[in-house]
């Protein structure tokens, strides 16, 4: 389900989620491959630290990040900070314009894992911020944000499922074959 709320003061509170046939541990393993997981979002092309180094593992809370965004032929970097990490459950980071804190839709990305059963979980993406292009008609802003979140939802589903299946295949091929007991003749 995807929902977008836009208040009269232009505050954005949006959420989407996907249900995955995987344990929270399996999905958390995918989320810890930070740059690949964050780049699953259709607009986040790459994630690096301030020096431009790939963040192939989940960095500690407080790490400053650069998020390369791509929309069509337009590419630009934004900045942020990893503000929350709860192992096995939550990753949250800010996504801010390099031109200033109140420009270019400053927002917070918040990913949460919620177990449904031992082998099924829900991955929730919440986006909160303040819409800064107030010249746009509100219905257009809501429609744009809903479209972006629906794209993010499908990308999350495809990327996470692919990574989980890859991990499972790697585990199967790296596990030694079960030993057969010798049967006395």
Q: Tell me the domains of the chain and their CATH numbers.
A: 2-171 (3.30.530.20)
- CA neighbours within 13 Å on the CB side: how many for 38? 30
Name the most confidently modeled range: 12-21, 44-53, 99-108, 171-180. 12-21
- Beginning with the edge strand found earlier in the chain, give each strand of the sheet holding 90-95 in spatial order: 2-6, 11-20, 120-130, 107-117, 90-95, 74-86, 64-71, 44-49
Band (pLDDT 50/70/90 cuts) for residue 164 is: very high
In degrees rounded to 5, what are phi and psi of residue 52?
Answer: 90, 10
Residue pLDDT, tens place only, 87-143: 999 999 999 888 887 888 889 999 999 999 999 999 999 999 999 999 999 999 999
What's the CA gap between 96 and 143, in Å, rounded? 21
């Amino acid at each position: 389900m995807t929902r977008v709320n836009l208040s009269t003061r232009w505050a954005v509170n949006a959420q989407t989620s996907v249900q995955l046939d995987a344990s929270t541990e399996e999905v958390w393993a995918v989320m810890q491959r930070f740059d690949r997981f964050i780049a699953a979002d259709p607009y986040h092309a790459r994630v690096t630290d301030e020096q431009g180094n790939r963040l192939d593992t989940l960095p500690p809370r407080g790490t400053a990040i650069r998020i390369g965004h791509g929309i069509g032929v337009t590419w630009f970097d934004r900045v942020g900070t990893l503000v929350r990490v709860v192992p096995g459950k939550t990753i949250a980071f800010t996504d801010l314009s390099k031109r200033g804190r109140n420009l270019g839709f400053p927002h917070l990305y918040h990913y949460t894992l919620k177990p449904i059963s031992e082998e099924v979980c829900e991955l929730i993406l919440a986006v909160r911020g303040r819409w800064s292009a107030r010249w746009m008609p509100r219905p257009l802003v809501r429609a744009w944000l809903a479209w972006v979140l629906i794209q993010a939802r499908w990308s999350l589903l495809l990327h996470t499922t692919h990574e989980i299946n890859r991990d499972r295949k790697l585990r199967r091929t790296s596990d030694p074959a079960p030993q057969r007991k010798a049967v006395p003749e």
